Amino acid sequence: MSGILFIISAPSGSGKSTLVNELRKYVSNLEFSVSYTTRAPRGSEQDGREYHFIPKAQFEEMIHAGAFLEYAEVFGKYYGTPKSVLEEASRRGHDLLLDIDVQGERQVKAKMPGAVNIFVLPPSKAELESRLEKRRQSENASPEETQRRLAAARKEIENYPNYDYIVINDRLEQSVDELQAIVLGERAERSGKLLFPQEKNYVEVKDKCRTSRMEVKIKRILNSF
């Protein structure tokens, strides 16, 4: 594709969806890939906005037809990104944001090594457990659901070295600012043009989020599990 492909991943309950929704308010020409899933909608989610909600049989038909750029099964439900979103974003000359898990990230990065990948982390196990428990109660799920997702989160976080940038979602406003800086800073650097002061600021902020500079904070979060 002619634009930049951004990949964002996070353990369940890290607040990734909220961050993405906020980011899209402030960054233009950034298309969001609406994935397909076989899970049921949550809360106020609408078909075609957060996800395309489809039956398992239909999803498997799409797999056999080679319709997905990547797909994965998570907690017994399928999630997948259609190949068509790349073509549409490229045709419009826009960047594309994929909201996918660590399995999907590996698939896409193997096919498109120039993609920029961002991993969103919770500030601690305790905070993640609190967020997951609120979600469990809203979904009327069993108490075991929270513990299952916590265990999965620990394993997912271990994949952090595969990502270019880390955003620790502790304070929403700061996390959105960091995501915006990563997107706009990457755009500025890849443009090959002389950078304006604001663009230099974006590059400075995004570089502070590079995984290599976040090791101490990441280890602290992992040690909380």
The full set of domains in the chain, from first to last, is 5-32+95-223 (3.40.50.300)
Q: Is the pLDDT of residue 122 over 70?
A: yes
Q: Mean pLDDT score of the chain, rounded to an integer? A: 92
For residue 117, what pLDDT is reported? 97
Tell me the pLDDT tens digit for each residue of 10-51.
Answer: 998 899 989 999 999 999 999 998 899 999 888 778 888 888
- This prediction's pTM: 0.88
Report the range out of 39-43, 75-79, 191-195, 198-202 with the highest average pLDDT: 198-202
- Cα gap 69→99, rounded to integer Å: 13
For residue 167, what pLDDT is reported? 97
Q: What is the percent of the chain where pLDDT is above 70? A: 99
From 184, 224, 225, 223, select the one nearest 207 (Cα to Cα): 184
pLDDT-wise least confident of 58-62, 106-110, 183-187: 106-110
Q: Between 140 and 224, whose confidence is greater?
A: 224
Q: Is the pLDDT of residue 68 over 90?
A: yes
Which H/E stretch holds residue 72? strand 68-74
For residue 2, what pLDDT is reported? 64
Q: Is the pLDDT of residue 1 over 60?
A: no
Q: Between 77 and 43, whose confidence is greater?
A: 77
Tell me the pLDDT tens digit for each residue of 198-213.
Answer: 999 999 999 999 999 9
For residue 218, what pLDDT is reported? 94
Give the Å distances, CA to CA, from 105 to 60, 112, 136: 20, 10, 26
Sign of CA dihedral 88, 48, 22, 105: negative
Burial of 219 (0-12, 13-18, 19+ CB in 10 A): exposed
